[in-house]
Amino acid sequence: MKNHIPLSGVVPIIPTPFLADETIDEPALCRLIDFAVDAGLQAVCLPAYASEFYKLSDEEKLKVVSIAVQQSAGRIQIMAQSNSPSLKIAIQLAQANIAAGADIISLAVPRIFSLPEASIKKYLSQFFAAIPATPVLIQDFNPGGASLSVALINELRKEHPNFKYLKLEEPLCAVKFEEIIAATEGAVGVFEGWGGLYTMELIPIGISGIMPGLGVSDILQKIFTLRKNGETNKAFELFERVMPQIFFSLQNMELFHYAEKELLMARGILDNSIARQAAYTPEASSVQYIQELNQRVVQLVADMKTRY
């Protein structure tokens, strides 16, 4: 595996910026990569759910990764999400992303319909085997049931050395995370998704990091560092101030796209909050409240420079 530096801390999801005609805004995407670099983060991920990947063509998915790789110029690792319920297409996307220069590949477990774990193991095993020299992160979000079992995670870890990371998005997951870390002897870095909602609970048990939206990534990186270093009060103070924005936006994935892009506008990085149709159109009261929440995040960023 080529000079892979293990990930720790915040790995944000890069949103896909659009112009008024819903084509990809390439200069804006470059600014988002630069923002992550300037925040001192190790890696970014795209195109994921928070990138509206499900609204992008396969060509566009590859395009945003290629732009990110070129703009990063080796300054930050690029994790390329290569999702498809079709194993054949997922492998093709992953191989194309690797050819474009992606450092890590991310793959979501196919959850459109219920599958027995034996079928999921076959799907994942063949995916790992198709790109053996590239580190892989497996994401599992399964609203309809349990995520991957600890036993399966450990089997895959033993059989495929490029299975380096796991991202789970579920409540009450501390015990399971502890079991995964113990069973895999720390060989699989565990990341929390869902915006970083359970960050403060999970850092002490040994998670490798969190994968939130980009707009709060620098704040959460500071929280992660403070919490790991035992500066609990400062970590909680920051977490309690950013949490209202995260919690409100996560009520609906399409609402998250709007709130995230509005926050990046408030922070001077994006010019608009356009999401591809079909998109969530918040009512006037929600628009006003999101603006209020985002301004509080902007103030928090300013306070961080002098108080933390």
Neighbours of 128 (CB within 10 A): 19
169: CB partners within 8 A, 6+ apart = 139, 140, 141, 192, 193, 194
Cα–Cα distance measured from residue 301 to residue 216, given in angstroms and rounded to the nearest whole number? 9
Nearest to 100 by CA among 143, 46, 53, 148: 46
Question: For the purposes of burial, counting CB atoms within 10 Å of the CB of 268, is it exposed (0-12), middle (13-18) or buried (19 or more)?
Answer: exposed
Cα–Cα distance measured from residue 192 to residue 212, given in angstroms and rounded to the nearest whole number? 8
How many CA atoms does the CB half-sphere of 265 hold within 13 Å? 14
- Residue 211 annotated as part of some ligand binding site: yes
* H or E element in which residue 10 lies: strand 9-10
Q: Which residues pair with 210 in a beta bridge?
A: 10, 192
Strand extents, DSSP E, 84-242: 104-108, 136-140, 163-168, 189-192, 209-210
Binding-site residues sit at: 211
Binding-site residues for pyruvate sit at: 211
